[in-house]
Amino acid sequence: LRIGSTPHGWLFPRTAAAVIHGGAGTAATALRAGVVPVLVPFFGDQRIWAGRLHSLGVSPPPILRTALSADGLAAAIGAAISDKAMGARATALGAAIGAEGGAERAAALIGDRD
């Protein structure tokens, strides 16, 4: 299945898990949708976020691009879908992220600088 550009905020709530690169915004969107992210970091801060999410117990261990295999990815997706405790932690963290009001807070801070 291949689709064109699709907003993550629309797509992720319709999935059982989300295989993502692990960037902060994409990971937060998956968590806000109540979806366990399966992380395959490629560059930059993605490895840091992937490690952090795994340490919080909201995702399976990250799969480095150099170690990516069909079997490994299938196992990680299986864990993301079947581990109910991980799913509950991901949902709780997503709710906390959603309740932060980050955009509103950032706008207020920027407005206070005038």
Residue 76 CA to residue 49 CA, distance in Å, equals 17
Predicted TM-score of the model (pTM): 0.86
pLDDT digit string (tens) for 2-20?
888 999 999 999 999 999 9
CA 41 to chain centre: 11
Please tell me the total number of residues recorded for the chain in this structure.
114
Q: What is the CATH number of domain 8-112?
A: 3.40.50.2000
> How far apart (Å, rounded) are the C-alpha atoms in residues 109 and 59?
32
- 103/51 Cα distance (integer angstroms): 25
Residues 15-66: tens digit of each pLDDT: 999 999 999 999 999 999 999 999 999 999 999 999 999 999 999 999 999 9
